[in-house]
Amino acid sequence: MTHQRILHLLRHGQANAEVTIQGWVRTKRELKDFSFVEVNDGSALANLQVILEPTLPDYSNLLSRLNTGASLQVSGILVLSPGQGQRIELKAQQVEVFGEADPATYPLQKKRHSFEFLRTIGHLRARTNTLGAVMRVRNACAAAIHQFFQERGFLWVHTPIITASDCEGAGELFSVTTLDLHKIPRNPDQSVDFKQDFFGKQAYLTVSGQLEAEIMALAFQNVYTFGPTFRAENSNTSRHLAEFWMVEPEMAFCDLEGDQNLAEEFLKYLFKSVLAACPEDMEFFNQRIDNTVLATADQIIHQEFARITYTEAIQLLEKAPKSFEYPVAWGVDLQSEHERYLAEEVFKRPMIVTDYPAEIKAFYMRLNDDQKTVAAMDILVPKIGEIIGGSQREERWEILEKRIQAQGMNPEDLWWYLDLRRFGTVPHAGFGLGFERIVQFMTGMANIRDVIPFPRTPLNAEF
Ligand code: 4AD
Ligand code: MG
């Protein structure tokens, strides 16, 4: 008999059905006449309660082997549960233990562990309730992302991970090289001779798939890329990772307003889908992690996002009845304390801020008619701050070349990007959603390191 998943049995299992399950022991309770083990197989937050009766062969030896963390297969009969908390349970007829877990050394004994501690056992923490729920929500959210774009005819394009360009121009790049770091080849002027490197030029891990997504949008109209991106920013915060996943749609024949509309529709869709796919997990987050999770989801789905310009945002911040660590003035970039004040205290809901000063935004954003601001948009949400960054792209060749130069970059390095503006250029726009930030926002998890299986942060690349 093939085995069944616990999620399926908890939802649909019928009394008297003969089933086989496989999983790991979460807890064991030994009573006088029989015992319970709670088994989890990762398919659901809830465990399946298994009843072990002394008539089982080698009963007491079996019980001694079934400690928290042990792996097993159980075949038996489903029975309606007389106890509270579960609809059905499994009366064991045959139990096979695959691997024991020594109670003296297995780190996940039945008690609450801090998330800091769990990060030190990244190879085991996926077996906890919280990390399990996070990973199921993460999976449901990823599936919904594809569904959203596929339903709308967007082409999923695979943009490269290794690249020679710095899309954001922020210099936060990890180098990719095969040069011998102990014998670096030098040019006569002592600079590194990258012509001898693997790609014949300096290469990096990508910070964003946007530039290549633009190439594809100018052939397929609507595309998206969804993959890992890398930033060597040395910021040890609860919202930054050195390796994170980003979703980046890019639309030809689209302006900043269309971009904002799509982003808002997208976030609403993701929340709806995850609530439908993972109701128990979302309920768990609301009960155990952050009691505003379900209210926030409801608000995202049903309320319109606030929309203001950067200039209006600065005016609101200048009028704020509180002082900020980073002073506010027109021209400064919004810091996370500013973003959170606006989203949490002024608007109390997600908001879209548009038209930022050209100097503080990337070279590719379209210059507005005022010549001072660009057609940028950031979506800010309570608790997280920026969750989406996007813009209408500069489609005019002369202006784009000037913007590249003004940012201290060399237009020759971006010859192909400029070429797109020479051959069949169109207004186009797109945005990037930080995948871990949306999972964090949905689940209420305080630290971004706990919403990705294996976080990469400064001084940390274990597991
Ligand atoms: O605002 P960013 O830098 O925008 C871009 O990369 C554009 N190329 C996107 C586009 O228009 N196609 O990054 C986009 C989003 C941010 O809003 C944030 O959610 C997330 O990526 N993000 C990070 N998430 C985790 N750790 C980091 N270090 C992040 N940096 C950005
Ligand atoms: Mg940004």
Confidence of residue 259 (pLDDT cuts 50, 70, 90): very high
Which ligand lies nearest the alpha carbon of 231? Answer: 1
Ligand 1 neighbourhood includes 167 CB (under 6 angstroms): yes
Q: What is the pTM of this model?
A: 0.96
Question: For a substitution probing ligand 1, which of 364, 437, 438, 449 has the most ligand atoms within 8 Å of its CB?
Answer: 437
Mean pLDDT within 224-242: 94
Mean pLDDT over each residue of the chain, to the nearest integer: 96
Cβ atoms of residues 63 and 88 within 8 Å: no
E strands in 231-334:
243-252, 306-309
Ligand 1 neighbourhood includes 384 CB (under 6 angstroms): no
Ligand 1 neighbourhood includes 274 CB (under 6 angstroms): no
More confident residue, 340 or 235: 340
Produce one character per residue of 33-54: b if its CB has 16 or more CB atoms within 10 Å, e if not.
ebbbbbbbbebbbbbbbbbbee
Give the pLDDT confidence score for residue 168 in this predicted structure: 85
Mean pLDDT within 387-392: 98
Mean pLDDT within 54-59: 96
Ligand 1 neighbourhood includes 390 CB (under 6 angstroms): yes
How does pLDDT run across 284-293, given as a tens digit for each residue? 999 999 999 9
Ligand 1 neighbourhood includes 246 CB (under 6 angstroms): yes
Q: Residue 157 contacts by C-beta under 8 Å, 6 or more apart in sequence?
A: 212, 213, 216, 220, 223, 224, 225
**Which residue's alpha carbon is nearest to atom 9 within ligand 1?**
432
pLDDT-above-70 percentage for the chain: 100
Does the pLDDT at position 356 exceed 90?
A: yes
**Which residue's alpha carbon is nearest to atom 2 within ligand 1?**
389
With the CA atoms of 291, 134, 207 and 236 taken in that order, what torsion angle do they form, in degrees rounded to the nearest 10?
A: 60
Which amino acid, residue 339?
E
Mean pLDDT within 295-311: 97
Taking the CB of residue 17, how many other CB atoms lie within 10 A of it? 15
End-to-end CA distance of the chain: 35
Mean pLDDT within 264-269: 98
Cβ atoms of residues 38 and 51 within 8 Å: no
Question: For a substitution probing ligand 1, which of 208, 380, 383, 436 has the most ligand atoms within 8 Å of its CB?
Answer: 208
Ligand 1 neighbourhood includes 214 CB (under 6 angstroms): no
Ligand 1 neighbourhood includes 455 CB (under 6 angstroms): no
HSE toward the beta carbon, residue 159, CA cutoff 13 A: 31
**What is the Å distance from ligand 2's center to 386 Cα?**
7
Which ligand lies nearest the alpha carbon of 449? Answer: 1
Give the pLDDT confidence score for residue 45 in this predicted structure: 97
Give the pLDDT confidence score for residue 38 in this predicted structure: 97
Question: What are the DSSP calls for 195-260, one per residue?
Answer: GGSTTSS-EEE-S-SHHHHHHHHHHHSEEEEEEEEE------STT--SEEEEEEEEEET--HHHHH
How does pLDDT run across 26-50, given as a tens digit for each residue? 999 999 999 999 999 999 999 999 9
> 406 vs 170, 372, 449, CA distance in Å?
14, 13, 36
Ligand 1 neighbourhood includes 395 CB (under 6 angstroms): no
Mean pLDDT within 403-430: 96
How does pLDDT run across 238-258, given as a tens digit for each residue? 999 999 999 999 999 999 999
Enter the tokens of residue 149.
């774009």
pLDDT-above-90 percentage for the chain: 93
Residue 412 class from Cβ within 10 Å (0-12 exposed, 13-18 middle, 19+ buried)? exposed
**Which residue's alpha carbon is nearest to atom 4 within ligand 1?**
389
Position in ligand 1 atom list of the atom nearest CA 387: 19
Q: Which residue has the tokens 């209420």?
A: 444
Taking the CB of residue 168, how many other CB atoms lie within 10 A of it? 19
**What is the Å distance from ligand 1's center to 168 Cα?**
9
Cβ atoms of residues 365 and 375 within 8 Å: yes
Does the pLDDT at position 70 exceed 70?
A: yes
**What is the Å distance from ligand 1's center to 433 Cα?**
6
Ligand 1 neighbourhood includes 356 CB (under 6 angstroms): no
With the CA atoms of 262, 266, 272 and 278 taken in that order, what torsion angle do they form, in degrees rounded to the nearest 10?
A: 170
Ligand 1 neighbourhood includes 225 CB (under 6 angstroms): no
**Which residue's alpha carbon is nearest to atom 31 within ligand 1?**
434
List residues bridging with 92 in a β-sheet. 76
Identify the CA nearest to 175 among candidates 205, 143, 131: 205
Say how far apart CA 68 and CA 126 lie, in whole Å.
14
How does pLDDT run across 75-116, given as a tens digit for each residue? 999 999 887 888 999 999 999 999 999 999 999 987 889 999
44-48, 144-148, 160-164, 334-338, range with the lowest pLDDT = 334-338
Question: For a substitution probing ligand 1, which of 207, 244, 254, 447 has the most ligand atoms within 8 Å of its CB?
Answer: 244
Give the pLDDT confidence score for residue 222 in this predicted structure: 98
Give the pLDDT confidence score for residue 1 in this predicted structure: 57
Mean pLDDT within 143-151: 98
Mean pLDDT within 206-215: 98
Cβ atoms of residues 305 and 351 within 8 Å: yes
Ligand 1 neighbourhood includes 249 CB (under 6 angstroms): no
Enter the tokens of residue 399.
């202006």
Mean pLDDT within 142-160: 98
Mean pLDDT within 375-386: 94
Give the pLDDT confidence score for residue 169 in this predicted structure: 80
Identify the CA nearest to 274 among candidates 463, 438, 84, 70: 438
How does pLDDT run across 123-138, given as a tens digit for each residue? 999 999 999 999 999 9
